[in-house]
Amino acid sequence: DTEVTQTPKHLVMGMTNKKSLKCEQHMGHRAMYWYKQKAKKPPELMFVYSYEKLSINESVPSRFSPECPNSSLLNLHLHALQPEDSALYLCASSRGGEVHETQYFGPGTRLLVL
Partner 1 sequence: GQNIDQPTEMTATEGAIVQINCTYQTSGFNGLFWYQQHAGEAPTFLSYNVLDGLEEKGRFSSFLSRSKGYSYLLLKELQMKDSASYLCAVAVQAGTALIFGKGTTLSVSS
Give yes or no for residue 42 binding partner 1 (CB under 8 A): yes
Q: How far is the CB of 75 from partner 1 (least distance, A)?
A: 18
Q: Which is nearer to partner 1, 17 or 105 (CB)?
A: 105
- For the chain, strand residue ranges (E) read 4-7, 10-13, 18-25, 31-37, 44-50, 53-57, 64-70, 73-79, 87-94, 104-105, 109-113
User: With binding defined as CB under 8 A, does residue 74 bind partner 1?
Assistant: no
Candidates 11, 23, 31, 113; binder of partner 1 (CB under 8 A) is 31
